[in-house]
Amino acid sequence: MEALTKPSQLQGSLSETPSLTGILSTQPTLSAVLLRNNYDADEYEDEYEVVSKVNEDEILNTAKKYLRNDIVVKAIPYAEVSNLSGGRTVTIGG
């Protein structure tokens, strides 16, 4: 890699083996390896949005995985309507 013309610039690329090199001033040179994340983990590739289920656990296999987005756990569907007896009928999860 050729030397950079401006002392404050760095040049590099992110690929399978990321690296960053450059000149910080007229004498010191910086060379480093960039990790994808703290654990160099595989990327999580399953759903990022799930719906809660009544009486059923949901396991998202995220252990030792790198997440690109937040996981959204949607609320259990809930509906309430009046009924002919003057009360309310509630439907949960359906």
What integer is the mean pLDDT of 65-75?
89
Instruction: Please give the structure tokens belonging to residue 18.
Output: 């990321």
Residues 47 and 14 in one domain: no
Question: Do 58 and 82 share a domain, yes or no?
Answer: yes
Give me the pLDDT at residue 66, please.
Answer: 84
Q: Which residue's structure tokens are 């950079």?
A: 4
Q: What is the pTM of this model?
A: 0.45
* Same domain assignment for residues 30 and 46: no
Instruction: Please tell me whether residues 22 and 56 are part of one structural domain.
Output: no
Are residues 54 and 80 located together in one domain of the fold?
yes
Residue 52 has pLDDT above 80, yes or no: yes
**Residues 68, 72: Cα–Cα separation, whole Å:** 13
Question: Mean per-residue pLDDT for 52-64?
Answer: 85
80 and 46 within one domain: yes
- Does one domain contain both 85 and 57? yes
Count of structural domains, the chain: 2
Q: What are the beta bridge partners of residue 19?
A: 13, 33
pLDDT at 83 over 80: yes
pLDDT category of residue 9 using cuts at 50, 70 and 90: low
